[in-house]
């Protein structure tokens, strides 16, 4: 990844822009979501706190008055004497009972039990039929304690009892207080918002009151398990938020407010899903945009880089097209100017070099006065004639012809003239090798007018003589012309030993050439390639039956005599 980013300017721009586009977007989105959640949670917590405080005040107020009333009743002589007497309904007692319990009778019921657990007096409508078990639960607990003892009722609700003691601490009976579901509804009603629910749990988190009695079992069991396991309080289904507040130490009760959670699990999941989808869309869009944009921005740099590479490979005719007017546009223009300048400079240098070469050649030509050489050769010829040595005359005539051709100013000659020179050369070599080879020239008349570089054929023939037939008794050299693909092919073959494979390879591969033998052939090849281009030049092959063939490929050009080319 890192390597990929660093490998290209465009990738860097791409990643940088992607980050710039995405990071604030995603961060902002996530932050917004989180802030919203936190804000709502904080609101809920604050609401819960105030409501719980209010509910707690109401509850502790009622419980305190219960204690006071129970104490008052337990100490009342009317109650004592009524229990002593053991009779039925006593008017005085009921007067005391009703008067004392007046402030709380909306919420709570007060009963007076005898020591056997039978209910004797009640503020309720009827006396409970079944006696309380005096050996189990609330009553023994009250017997052992000083004040009012609170217990969660077996089926919910709150029960409390206080022992009534006579002289010397003898137990006379019990004052029992019970607050049932309806009492709690009355007590807590209007003190919490309608969407919330209230739970009142005892010291071990058993239900005393739940504003939704049907769910009491599941919810409280779940909360208790969560509390004991040290988990957050989420209830049975996690759709509510629970805030707990412990009440006064002596009761050990816990009030819990259940608030509906705005961001419940499913809502939160939907929210996250939507965020994820939007996020993914944003990522895709950003990817697309930044990819295109990075391409647009990095294109001039990329083009410049490409062009620079071309220049490095030797192509100076490169030109950057740009219509931009900014730094990159100016950079491209500068690049164009620079290559232009460079190319012009190169051409100037080349021309100067050529001029220099030509001057050098002329100077060398001038060093040896050719007329002096012709005259001398002429003299040699006549001396040969006068002394009846025709070979000398012939030799000097041929040599003079070759010399003249060599130093004449023209670069190209007709094939006809070139062949004439070749024949002169063969004449000279025939004398030297004593007619041990024959040279056959088979060039159709239509090719003879073609223009060829001066002295291009002679090195081929020389090669055929020196490296081909020199050591043979009956050497045979053939020279013929043909045309192929519009080019002129001049072939020289011999029946000599052929060309060694290593030399052959070098001859056919211009790049591998080194200085050494066959210098004449290399020169011809180089001159032709330089003059006419890479597709022209020299190729060589060993023939299957022995001997070799060297082929010169030239463009078909005619001497400008207004004739139609014959081929």
Partner 1 sequence: MRRLFTLVFLLLLLGGCGASPEAPAEGFAPAEEERLVVYTSHREAVYRPIIQEFENRTGIWVQVETGGTGELLDRLAAEAESPACDLLFGGGADSLQSQPELFEPYTSPLTDEIQPAFRCPEGTWTAFSSLPVVLIYNPVLVRSNPPDSWRSLLDPAWRGKIAFASPVISGSSYTALAAMLQVLPGGDGDLLAAFLQNLDGQVLESSSQVVNAVADGSSYIGAIPEDVALRAIAEGRDVALLRPKEGTCLLPDGMAVVSGCAHGDNARRFIDFALREDVQRYLSEHCLRRSAREDLSWSEEPLDTFDYDLAWASQQREALLEQWRALSGGGAP
d(CA 446, CA 556): 11
Phi-psi region at 399: left, alpha or beta (left = phi > 0; alpha = psi -120 to 50):
alpha
CA distance 174 to 148: 10
Closer residue to partner 1 in complex, CB, 124/203 = 203
Q: How far is the CB of 41 from partner 1 (least distance, A)?
A: 5
Q: Shortest approach of partner 1 to residue 345 CB, angstroms?
A: 44
> Which C-beta is closer to partner 1: that of 254 or that of 495?
254
**Smallest distance, Å, CB 155 to partner 1?**
11
Among candidates 157, 175, 182, which has minimal Cα distance to 97?
175
- For partner 1, the closer of residues 141 and 311 by Cβ is 141
Minimum Å gap between C-beta 276 and partner 1 is: 9
Q: What is the CB-side half-sphere exposure of residue 307 using CA atoms within 13 A?
A: 23
Q: How far is the CB of 78 from partner 1 (least distance, A)?
A: 31
Q: Are 76 and 96 in contact (CB under 8 A)?
A: yes
Closer to partner 1 by Cβ: residue 2 or 561: 2
For CA atoms 370, 372, 375, 381, give the dihedral sign.
Answer: negative
Rounded Cα–Cα distance for residues 287 and 540 (Å): 60
Stated as kind and residue range, the H or E segment containing 208 is strand 207-210
Half-sphere exposure of 11 (CA within 13 A, CB side): 8
Q: Half-sphere exposure (CA, 13 Å, Cβ side) for 50?
A: 8
Nearer to partner 1, 118 or 531 (CB): 118
Nearer Cβ to partner 1, position 38 or 530?
38
Please report which helix (H) or strand (E) contains residue 37, including its range. helix 9-75
457 in Cβ contact with 552 (< 8 Å): yes
Pairwise CA distance, residues 68 & 114, whole Å: 20
Q: Which of 157, 58, 69, 60 shows the shortest CA–CA distance to 105?
A: 69
Alpha-carbon gap, residue 442 to 481, rounded angstroms: 7
Vertex 97: Cα angle to 96 and 99 (nearest 5) = 65
Closest approach of partner 1 to the CB of residue 244, in Å: 5
Helix, strand or coil, per DSSP, at residue 161? strand
Considering the complex, state which of residue 84 and residue 217 has its C-beta at the smaller distance from partner 1. 217
Q: Which is nearer to partner 1, 28 or 103 (CB)?
A: 28
Q: Pick between residue 273 and residue 344 the one whose CB is nearest to partner 1.
A: 273
- Angle, helix 370-386 to helix 390-407, in steps of 10 degrees: 170
Q: Point out which residues bind partner 1 (CB under 8 A).
A: 2, 5, 19, 23, 26-27, 30-31, 33-34, 37-38, 41, 133, 135-137, 140-141, 151-152, 154, 203-206, 224-228, 230-234, 242, 244, 246, 254, 263, 268, 272, 275
* Cα-to-chain-centroid distance, residue 473: 79
The CA-based diameter of the chain, rounded to the nearest angstrom, is 193
- Choice between 27 and 338, CB closer to partner 1: 27
Q: Least CB distance from residue 42 to partner 1, whole Å?
A: 9
User: Rounded to the nearest whole angstrom, what is the least distance from the CB of residue 20 to partner 1 in the complex?
Assistant: 11
Task: Kindly state the smallest distance separating residue 305's Cβ from partner 1, in Å.
Answer: 23
Least separation in angstroms between residue 206's CB and partner 1 is 7
Pick the closer one to partner 1 by CB: 227 or 466: 227
What's the closest the beta carbon of residue 135 comes to partner 1, in angstroms? 5
Which is it for the CA torsion 143, 145, 148, 150, positive or negative? negative
């Amino acid at each position: 990844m890192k390597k990929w980013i660093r490998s290209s300017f465009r990738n860097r721009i791409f990643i940088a822009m992607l980050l710039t586009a995405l990071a604030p977007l995603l961060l902002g989105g996530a932050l917004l979501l989180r802030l919203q959640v936190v804000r709502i949670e904080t609101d809920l917590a604050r609401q819960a706190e105030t409501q719980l405080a209010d509910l707690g005040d109401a509850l502790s107020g009622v419980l305190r008055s219960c204690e006071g009333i129970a104490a008052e009743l337990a100490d009342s002589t009317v109650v004592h004497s009524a229990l002593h007497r053991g009779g039925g309904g006593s008017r005085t007692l009921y007067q005391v009972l009703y008067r004392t319990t007046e402030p709380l009778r909306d919420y709570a019921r007060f009963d007076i039990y005898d020591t056997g657990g039978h209910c004797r007096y009640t503020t309720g409508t009827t006396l409970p039929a079944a006696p309380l078990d005096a050996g189990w639960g609330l009553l023994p607990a009250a017997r052992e304690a000083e004040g009012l003892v609170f217990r969660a009722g077996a089926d919910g609700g709150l029960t409390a009892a206080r022992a009534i003691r006579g002289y010397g601490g003898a137990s006379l009976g019990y004052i029992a207080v019970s607050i049932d579901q309806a009492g709690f509804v009355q007590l807590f009603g209007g003190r919490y918002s309608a969407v919330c629910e209230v739970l009142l749990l005892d010291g071990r988190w058993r239900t005393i009151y739940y504003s939704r009695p049907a769910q009491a079992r599941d919810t409280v069991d779940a909360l208790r398990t969560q509390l004991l396991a040290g988990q957050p309080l989420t209830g049975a289904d996690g759709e509510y938020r629970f805030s707990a507040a412990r009440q006064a130490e002596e009761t050990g009760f816990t009030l819990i407010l259940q608030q509906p959670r705005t961001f419940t699990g499913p809502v939160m999941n939907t929210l996250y899903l939507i965020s994820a989808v939007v996020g993914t869309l944003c990522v895709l869009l950003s990817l697309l945009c930044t990819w295109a944009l990075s391409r647009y921005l990095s294109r001039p740099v990329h083009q410049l880089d490409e062009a620079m590479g071309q220049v490095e490979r030797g192509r100076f005719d490169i030109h950057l097209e740009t219509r931009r007017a900014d730094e990159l546009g100016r950079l491209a223009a500068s690049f164009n100017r620079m290559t232009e300048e460079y190319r012009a400079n190169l051409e100037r240098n080349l021309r100067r070099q050529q001029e220099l070469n030509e001057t050098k050649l002329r100077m060398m030509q001038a060093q040896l006065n050719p007329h002096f050489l012709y005259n001398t050769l002429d003299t040699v010829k006549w001396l040969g004639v006068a002394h009846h040595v025709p070979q000398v005359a012939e030799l000097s005539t041929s040599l003079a012809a070759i010399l003249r051709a060599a130093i004449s100013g023209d670069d190209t000659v007709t094939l006809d003239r070139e062949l004439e020179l070749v024949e002169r050369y063969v004449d000279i070599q025939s004398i030297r090798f004593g007619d041990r080879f024959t040279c056959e020239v088979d060039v159709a008349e239509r090719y003879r007018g073609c223009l060829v570089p001066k002295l291009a054929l002679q090195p081929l023939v020389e090669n055929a003589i020196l490296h081909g037939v020199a050591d043979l008794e009956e050497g045979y050299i053939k020279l013929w012309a043909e045309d192929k693909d519009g080019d002129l092919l001049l072939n020289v073959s011999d029946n000599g030993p052929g060309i060694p494979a290593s030399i052959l390879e070098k001859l056919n591969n211009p790049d591998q050439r080194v200085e050494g033998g066959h210098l004449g052939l290399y020169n011809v090849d180089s001159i032709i390639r330089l003059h006419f281009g890479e597709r022209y030049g020299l190729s060589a092959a060993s023939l299957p039956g022995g001997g070799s063939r060297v082929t010169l490929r030239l463009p078909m050009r005619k001497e400008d005599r207004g004739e139609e080319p014959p081929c």
